[in-house]
């Protein structure tokens, strides 16, 4: 044992999440990502967001996934190695961001649906002036992508590389008692799969109706 990668308070750089933690299973990866931080360099400054809501997507066996019908130029990142940004354009006006999962050659990704701004709050509000509350800054996948400045040029970025403009900072695994799960949003097919995960009690979780079917805890 040579060097100790301990998160030395304010001194050492925050450790990045290891690619292997995302390579085994999309559901495990989704839960692992909760509580971790996405840090992005924007023209206005660096913005760091703590993930509180995500959704898992798989490949040919997942009708709701972009990769359900095989590999295309658009979804290629989903088929590559874990730990890369898959950014896509939707509804003619928004971008959404995923982090690729599973081994190279196997399609998988986790959609980043919501987060809480850790820093810099002033920069974040400058980037999204319409947000009245701080909890709204990255509430919803398109708002999160907008806040972090994601566009086509970010597609494929390796978030496990400290030199990337977008980095995924590891946090201790979140307390399982705080994790909730339910059906994915806007997904008619596979509605019985509770592949949406969020942190209980976060104000930044996109609006949810608890009365609906929320099969909690089943993977």
Partner DNA sequence: CGACGGATTAGCT
Partner DNA sequence: GCTAATCCGTCGT
**Pairing mode, if any, of strands 179-182 and 196-199?**
antiparallel
Q: Which of 85, 113, 88 is nearest to 99 (CA)?
A: 85
190 binds DNA (CB under 7 A): no
Q: Contacting DNA (CB under 7 A), which of 48, 109, 148, 171? A: 109
* Number of helices followed by number of strands (H, E) in the chain: 4, 8
125 binds DNA (CB under 7 A): no
93 binds DNA (CB under 7 A): yes
Under rule CB under 7 A, how many of the chain's residues touch DNA?
36
37 binds DNA (CB under 7 A): no
Name, in order, each residue with C-beta under 8 angstroms of 19's C-beta and a sequence gap of 6 or more: 81, 82, 83, 160
Q: Contacting DNA (CB under 7 A), which of 24, 44, 46, 94? A: 94
When the beta carbons of 140 and 149 are compared against DNA, the nearer one is 140
Beta carbons of 150 and 23 less than 8 angstroms apart: no
Q: Contacting DNA (CB under 7 A), which of 23, 26, 78, 117? A: 78
Q: Contacting DNA (CB under 7 A), which of 69, 121, 122, 151? A: 69
177 binds DNA (CB under 7 A): no
155 binds DNA (CB under 7 A): no
Residue 78's SS3 state is helix
Closest distance between DNA and the C-beta of residue 211, in Å?
A: 11
Q: Which residues pair with 115 in a beta bridge?
A: 51
């Amino acid at each position: 044992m040579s060097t100790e990668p301990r998160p030395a308070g304010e001194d050492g750089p925050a450790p990045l999440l290891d690619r292997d933690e995302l390579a085994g299973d999309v559901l495990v990866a989704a839960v692992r990502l909760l509580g971790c931080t996405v840090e992005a360099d924007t023209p206005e400054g660096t913005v760091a967001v703590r993930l509180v809501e995500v959704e898992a997507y798989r490949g040919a066996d997942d009708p709701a996934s972009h990769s359900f019908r095989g590999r295309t130029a658009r979804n290629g990142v989903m088929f590559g190695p874990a730990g890369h940004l898959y950014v896509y354009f939707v509804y003619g006006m928004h971008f959404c961001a995923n982090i690729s999962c599973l081994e190279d050659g196997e399609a998988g990704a986790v959609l980043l649906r919501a987060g809480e701004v850790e820093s810099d709050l002033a920069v974040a509000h400058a980037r999204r002036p319409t947000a009245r509350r701080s909890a709204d800054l990255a509430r919803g996948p398109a708002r999160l992508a907008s806040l972090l400045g994601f566009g086509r040029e970010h597609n494929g970025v390796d978030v496990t590389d400290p030199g990337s403009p977008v980095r995924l900072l590891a946090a201790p695994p979140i307390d399982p008692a705080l994790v909730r799960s339910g059906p994915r949003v806007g997904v008619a097919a596979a509605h019985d799969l509770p592949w949406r995960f969020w942190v209980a009690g976060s104000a930044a979780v996109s609006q949810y109706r608890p009365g609906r079917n929320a099969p909690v805890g089943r993977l």
